[in-house]
Chains A and B, each alone.
Chain A
Amino acid sequence: MRTESPRHQSRLRISGVWKAYGRRQVLRGADLDVPPGTLVGVVGENGAGKSTLLRIAVGQLPPDRGTVVRTGAVGYCPQHAVLNDSFTVMQHLRLFQVAYRLPTLARAHELMELLAFADCGRQRSEELSGGTRQKLNLLLALMHDPHLLVLDEPYQGFDWDTHQRFWALADRLRDEGRSIVVVSHLLHDLRHFDAVGHLREGRLDIEELTR
């Protein structure tokens, strides 16, 4: 995954990242390169450090050692829906519109249609079902059409149709040149990936796949 040219530099490069929680060493020199137009899966056992790696990748958590270089706008979808229960769906969209400096919410509305929750705009996030909360969680990562998407099990609680729509969207975004990193547990998701990083003993073993 090291295709490099001035025009197609890596969107995300993680080099020799180490991270420990107290005495528990979670990452031991993990490396990952994500060029434009690739969909990379990250798999590993529970507690292997997948979420830690992604949080370090987006700058939410500092690595103990190593470097992370990101290029272009980033969209991060955390594993558990991070929403304010007092706010409605529309209020979330307007606040993130300010954060991303978006002139309109046209793309957010398109994504709401695509993910089939366009009629939930006036509902507070605490009133939403688990699956719909996760849809909003994902939408907040996608609504500014970022060049790098870092998604931590983004489809938890999705019904099968929405799950399929998510993968169709991910494939389309990859074909449009976006770089996508997805943590996944599901074997049948593997066919979507260009490469899979197996997180074992704190290191990522990259396996190139042919789709």
Chain B
Amino acid sequence: MRLRRAAFTEMLRCTLLGHLRNRMAVLLAVVFIPVWIAVARLCASDQAVRFSLDSAGVDAQARASQVSQVVNALAAVTLVTGFVMFMETFKAGETDRRLLLAGYPRTWMLLAKVTAVALVSALLALYTTAVLWSSLPVSQPGPLALALLGAGLAYGGIGLLLGSLVRGELEGFFLVIMLSLVDTGLQNPVFNVVDLTGLTLFPLYGANQLALASAFTSLTPWSHGLLSLAWSAATSALALLVFHARTRPHRGCVAAADTDAPAPAAAPSSPRRSR
């Protein structure tokens, strides 16, 4: 139990400190989010737009600039969490595999990483809600923060998955940016995109519906917030699966019992013979 706790807390502490030392990530979080919200406030028109909220089954009305601020806030949160989690997972991959080979408890390492995603997403959600609240009249700040947390968790999970899957840094960046741009672009009610049934399958759909309803109505479609959690859980689980597959014990390797040595500290092995 003591080992598990040490494995979890040490990895969580190192991962969070690693995020703090990532200057690009901190700069993105502190500067990019308010700047991107300000861009929407300054550039979008003040004309009222009417849009349908499938989640609440009603039509809502708000200024285009205000809707754009909420949508841009979601886009910024998804980009930052996706980018941060991808970078961390990608950069740490080789060392994590070395740690596992040395005997680091796998489950607790992975739980620490998922917890780091949750903590970073929660911090970003609180910060973004505060920025939005200071910029426009938000009807329900609590549910709005939860929607932003859901968006962060969904894209944090995607970053985690891409970090374990792709071979090149550039591929990962491109995929995170492309997915976030397409997702936020299609979900933006100001663009008045044709009614696509497939939109509900995108990672941001649930968070977007909950955020818009929380910002501009008194309705709170909680169930839609759960869609983000489902996305986060699915992508994190897939990332864990990829991680497990890449670090599983190999055929043909045996750690024999030692007569004059302690148990092996490295090299997970399966007692199967070669083909």
Contacts and interface: CB of A to CB of B under 8 A. Distances in A.
Contacts of A9: 256, 258-259
Nearest to B273: A67
B62 to A, nearest CB: 41
A62 B103 contact: no
Max chain A Cβ within 10 angstroms of own Cβ: one of B7, B102, B263: B102
Contact of B259 (A7, A16, A144): A7
Contacts of A83: 95
A33 to B, nearest CB: 13
Contacts of A17: 252
A107 interface: no
B258 A72 contact: yes
Contact of B249 (A6, A59, A72, A86): A59
Interface in B213-260: 249-260
Contact of A63 (B103, B266, B274): B274
Contacts of A166: none
A72 B264 CA distance: 5
A177 to B, nearest CB: 9
Interface in A40-63: 56, 58-63
Contacts of B181: none
Contact of A59 (B14, B19, B258, B267): B267
B269 interface: yes
Nearest to A6: B259
A121 interface: no
A95 B11 contact: yes
Contacts of B92: 84, 86
A91 B14 contact: yes
A124 B105 CA distance: 24
A125 to B, nearest CB: 9
Contacts of B257: 71
A17 to B, nearest CB: 8
A83 B19 CA distance: 16
B273 to A, nearest CB: 6
Interface in B1-37: 3, 6-7, 10-11, 14, 17-19, 21-22
Nearest to A146: B265
B101 A76 contact: yes
B104 interface: yes
B167 interface: no
A6 B6 CA distance: 37
Interface stretch (A97-105, A189-197, A199-207): A97-105
A17 B245 CA distance: 22
A146 B102 CA distance: 11
23 contacts: A58-B266, A59-B101, A59-B255, A62-B251, A63-B253, A68-B254, A70-B264, A71-B261, A73-B261, A73-B266, A74-B266, A74-B267, A78-B98, A86-B14, A86-B18, A86-B22, A95-B104, A96-B99, A98-B7, A98-B10, A99-B104, A101-B3, A146-B266
Given A9-B259, A95-B14, 20 more contacts: A36-B260, A56-B253, A59-B101, A59-B267, A59-B269, A63-B251, A65-B274, A65-B275, A67-B253, A67-B254, A72-B261, A73-B262, A75-B266, A82-B98, A84-B92, A95-B104, A99-B104, A101-B3, A124-B21, A146-B265
Interface of A: 6-7, 9, 16-17, 36, 56, 58-76, 78, 82-87, 91, 94-96, 98-101, 124, 140, 144, 146-147
